[in-house]
Amino acid sequence: MIGIASACLVLATCPAAAPDVAGPGQTQVAHLPPQEAMDLNREGKVLYRAGRFAEARTKYDLSRKTDPDFWGPWLNLACAYAREERFAEATEEAVALIRHAYVPGAREVMQAADLGPLQIRAQAMAELRSALAEAATEWGRTAQQGLLFVARTQPPVRLQGQGILFLGMNQEIYAWLPQSGRYLPLTAEDGRVLALVKSSDGRRIAFVRAGRLVRTPGQPDLLRGLGVRQLDLVNMTLGPAAELPGDAQKLTMWFSSRGAVEIELVELEGGLSGFRFDGSRLEPAAAGHGRPVRPVVLTSAGVAPDTRVVVGTDCAFSARDEIDAQGLPRIRISAPKGKDFLLDARYGAGLAGLPFPDSSLLPSKALSPAKKTR
């Protein structure tokens, strides 16, 4: 059994191929700012460290104008104002970043040390909280209209050798928006997302967070220290991470008909353990109960690609996993009138997750090789 996160989508228009430049608030997967924008931001940092905040802001502003989807200078502008104790302007810039890029902008604003003074000012915090609530609702509303998938934002750490290996896959969850062909980041988990499953009503997702891969000569590879977390797309509320106990050869996860996240683990000697996750607490449950609905299956080789489709109800299209000519997992979108293209994720993407590098899941003869996009 192999995993897939799929659901019906309600679409207003037919899918469009991703444009070369993303619009405000909707960055491309693995977005790389132009060199000019990065240079201007770097020059601003030099001035910032020298205490020349007004000059630094000029550089940051130019960098932002060069590439509005490079969110670093947005944050740096807010920090530069805060360092000069111009807290009204710092708050205005922080709010702008939150509205422009809720993920990951909200986390960066609330964790930036130089913006700490805003959190002890009632007016500033009232404005930030209002922006956070409004941006979260809009971000989640937009995400529910898209196709959710896991994508790598950087090349993954290679899994070579024996011992305890860190699963540094550099993977996050994105929504692809069929109407515009844009991308919306949904998680900021420091690249630790391994697998995704979506509730039947499309309002929640649960995902597995990375732990370690244990390789012992003569023994099957094992997954250790995995975690599970839930995200409510209605208001982008992210629940706490719950760590799964012990080592496992395989994890199967799905949403039950009652809306709880069900998890089964196959252990080293073939033993089976079950858990139920309500979004905050992990509790033991009878293994083998109920029939999995659209499960995601994670093994020590990652998530196997699947050829099943996701179909829009108003404008039929299909999405499927496949392997490109370089052996990278990709998602192909096929729509009416000859539209056929790959999602723009240069380091790989999968509907429910991706195979680990060097795993037996790649390449797969069951999947057709990628074709040239039209």
- 145-154 pLDDT, tens digit each: 888 999 998 8
Mean pLDDT of the chain: 85
Instruction: Locate the DSSP E strands across 107-162.
Output: 147-152
Q: Which of the pair, 215 or 10, is modelled with greater confidence? A: 215
Does residue 124 have a pLDDT over 60? yes
Determine the pLDDT at residue 159: 83
**Model confidence pLDDT, tens digit, residues 125-162:** 999 999 999 999 999 999 998 889 999 988 888 888 88
Does residue 78 have a pLDDT over 90? yes
Residue 74: phi, psi to the nearest 5? -60, -50
Residue pair 288/270 in contact by the 8 Å Cβ criterion = no
Determine the pLDDT at residue 8: 31
Determine the pLDDT at residue 320: 87
Percent of the chain scoring above 70 in pLDDT: 84
Determine the pLDDT at residue 12: 39
Calculate mean pLDDT across residues 78-101.
96
Burial letters 25-56, b for 16+ CB under 10 A, else e: bbbbbbbebeeebbebbebbeebbeeeebebb
Does residue 24 have a pLDDT over 50? no
Neighbours of 302 (CB within 10 A): 27
Determine the pLDDT at residue 366: 41
Determine the pLDDT at residue 5: 29
Pairwise CA distance, residues 11 & 16, whole Å: 12
Determine the pLDDT at residue 290: 66
Residue pair 32/70 in contact by the 8 Å Cβ criterion = no
Determine the pLDDT at residue 372: 41
Residue pair 112/91 in contact by the 8 Å Cβ criterion = no
* Sign of torsion over alpha carbons 36, 42, 44, 47: negative
Which of 94-103, 110-119, 302-311, 358-367 has the least mean pLDDT? 358-367
pTM of the model: 0.85
Region of residue 9 (left: phi > 0; alpha: psi -120 to 50; beta: else): beta
What tokens were used for 119? 């959190």
Q: Domains for the chain: give ranges and CATH numbers.
A: 35-141 (1.25.40.10), 147-350 (no CATH)
* Sign of torsion over alpha carbons 289, 196, 175, 65: positive
Amino acid at 132: L
Which of 2-16, 243-257, 305-319 has the least mean pLDDT? 2-16
Q: What share of the chain is helix, strand, coil (3-state, %, to 5)?
A: 25, 30, 45
**Model confidence pLDDT, tens digit, residues 163-172:** 999 999 999 9
Neighbours of 199 (CB within 10 A): 22
**Model confidence pLDDT, tens digit, residues 277-322:** 999 999 998 876 667 778 899 999 999 887 555 555 556 678 889 8
Residue pair 165/212 in contact by the 8 Å Cβ criterion = yes
Query: What 3-state DSSP class applies to 285?
Result: strand
Does residue 22 have a pLDDT over 70? no
Does residue 10 have a pLDDT over 50? no
Does residue 41 have a pLDDT over 50? yes
Q: Cis peptide before 357, with omega less than 30 degrees from 0?
A: no
State the pairing for strand pair 250-255/302-303.
unpaired
Beta bridge partners of 285: 274
Does residue 18 have a pLDDT over 80? no
Does residue 109 have a pLDDT over 90? yes
Geometric angle at alpha carbon 275, from 271 and 276, rounded to 5°: 160
Which of 59-73, 189-203, 302-316, 360-374 has the least mean pLDDT? 360-374
Does residue 20 have a pLDDT over 70? no
Band of the pLDDT at 7, cuts 50, 70, 90? very low
Does residue 252 have a pLDDT over 90? yes
Calculate mean pLDDT across residues 66-88.
95
Amino acid at 114: D
